[in-house]
Amino acid sequence: MLYKSLAAGVIAFGLPTMASAALIITGSMGKADGQPGSLNTIKYADGKLEIINTQVGVCGKISSWMEFIGNHIYCLDEVWTGGNGALYNLQVTKDGSNLTQVGNKLEMLPGPVNTARYGQNHRGLAVAAYGGGGLQTLDISNPAAPKTLQSTNFTMTPKPKAGDQQKSSHPHQVILDPTGDFIAVPDLGADLIRIFKVDKNTLEYKESSTVVTPDYSGPRHGAFVKLNSGTYFYVVTELSNEIIGWKVNYTDNNLELGEKQFLVPTHGPGTSAPNNVTAAAEIVISPDNKFLLISSRNEKSIEIPDPENNAAGQIPSDPIITYAIQADGTLRLQQIFPAGGVHPRHISLSKDGSLVVTALQNDNRIALIKRDVQTGNLTEFVGTVKVEGPPMFAKLKE
């Protein structure tokens, strides 16, 4: 009820409010199992969203993640149906209207889902392989010819009541710390944060420390935040739907996550997930380090006007939940705002923090939402578009 009135009160679709132009690049999985996925370029100008390019199969079947480097896009194919994953190297025209593959695709460990750049001149690329349970690194000194460096398969013993996602290791993200010396890898299958030390020159990594999260929590994505009081690390857990935060302790040679700072359910202290299929997904930090945003999937806890056809009535939406980061690293619940549909697997912010892009996997929809950078609140929908196949990734190319 509360959400219904909130949504009705604040949402006004298609307002021609922002004059600036921008491109959003998205990746989708195929329309049906085994079919090729699509990449879309969406132009945002004069307050409107318009698809200006759709290319099918340029990033395999399950286009799970992208890294933008100048006019190169590295795109991961998660594949899903067994076998190795792949990294596609694409060149994109300035206007976003054409993506062209460069060289051959690179075979990767199965199920790659996320990348992070590291090392001197950001010439290393770390990749988390969810399906294969591994970590991989590439040398991208020459963006046109990435070379595989190191590869590790993680082993673990499943816990007695392990569900399907915890029968083996499932690293879901690679996150570079603010010093650039460490990479944190949340392992959803093992209830661990695996931390690696990297050599910025040779790009080699080695194990630094391992931090345990609560049993069956399923840590998925994380983020570092550097405040005056120290550096903090936050992780969102997919299975227990919580945010866990630690103060980072830099010792002589390692990054350690100190005593647990706090653990808060995604909807705030004293709440529980709205239903038994709720699965928290993304975590992002605002550019000013003052706010933490998470997305939660499958809740359908909010109703909003159908964004493509206001006259058609209401549709269900999942939330984006904003927390204000306090001076001591603790979190204060600030706002619950509709994501624009169901299953926001990926959300991302514009560089200035004034726009939020959401990839709504179950609605084949991309939504663009305005955000007040002073207050940290999401304020209104700029617009939405439907794309071909369930979107897994959407980000402004700035």
Q: Does 210 bind ligand NAG (CB under 6 A)?
A: no
Going from the C-alpha of 209 to that of each of 197, 212, 243, 347, the distances in angstroms are 9, 10, 20, 29
Q: Edge-to-edge strands of the sheet including 219-227?
A: 219-227, 230-237, 242-250, 255-265
> Taking CB under 6 A as the rule, does residue 253 contact ligand NAG?
no
- Pair of tokens at residue 252: 């002589």
Specify the residue, 334 or 350, whose C-beta has the smaller distance to ligand NAG: 334
Nearer to ligand NAG, 100 or 202 (CB): 100
Q: Which residues pair with 263 in a beta bridge?
A: 244
Instruction: Work out whether 98 is an interface residue with ligand NAG (CB under 6 A).
Output: yes
CB of 122 to ligand NAG, least distance (A): 26
Select 57 or 117, whichever has its Cβ closest to ligand NAG. 57
Q: Report the alpha-carbon angle 220-225-227, nearest 5.
A: 155
How many residues in the shown chain lie near ligand NAG by CB under 6 A? 17
By residue count, the chain amounts to: 398
CB of 252 to ligand NAG, least distance (A): 8
Among 377, 386, 388, 397, interactor with ligand NAG by CB under 6 A = 377
Instruction: Say if CB 128 and CB 110 are below 8 A apart.
Output: no
CA–CA separation, 192 and 175 (whole Å): 14
Residues forming beta bridges with residue 39, ordered by sequence position: 27, 55
Structure tokens, 391 = 């979107």
CA 193 to chain centre: 17
In contact, 84 and 110? CB cutoff 8 Å: yes
Question: Residue 54, interface with ligand NAG (CB under 6 A)?
Answer: no
**Nearer to ligand NAG (CB atom), residue 163 or residue 178:** 163
Site for ligand NAG in 256-285 (CB under 6 A): 256, 258-259, 276
Give me 312's structure tokens: 């058609």
Which residue's CB is nearer to ligand NAG, number 364 or number 377?
377
Shorter beta-carbon distance to ligand NAG: residue 158 or 258: 258
Tally of helices (H runs) and strands (E runs) in the chain: 1, 31
CB atoms near residue 142 (< 10 Å) = 9
Q: Which is nearer to ligand NAG, 4 or 120 (CB)?
A: 4
Dist. CA 88–CA 215, nearest whole Å = 36
Contacts to ligand NAG from residues 105-124, by CB under 6 A: 109-110
Q: How far is the CB of 53 from ligand NAG (least distance, A)?
A: 8
From the list 158-166, 248-256, 266-274, 390-398, the region that binds ligand NAG by CB under 6 A is 248-256
User: What is the footprint of ligand NAG within residues 322-361 (CB under 6 A)?
Assistant: 334-335
Instruction: Quote the least distance from Cβ 52 to ligand NAG, whole Å.
Output: 11
- Residues near ligand NAG (CB under 6 A) are 98, 100, 109-110, 132, 134, 153, 249, 251, 256, 258-259, 276, 334-335, 375, 377
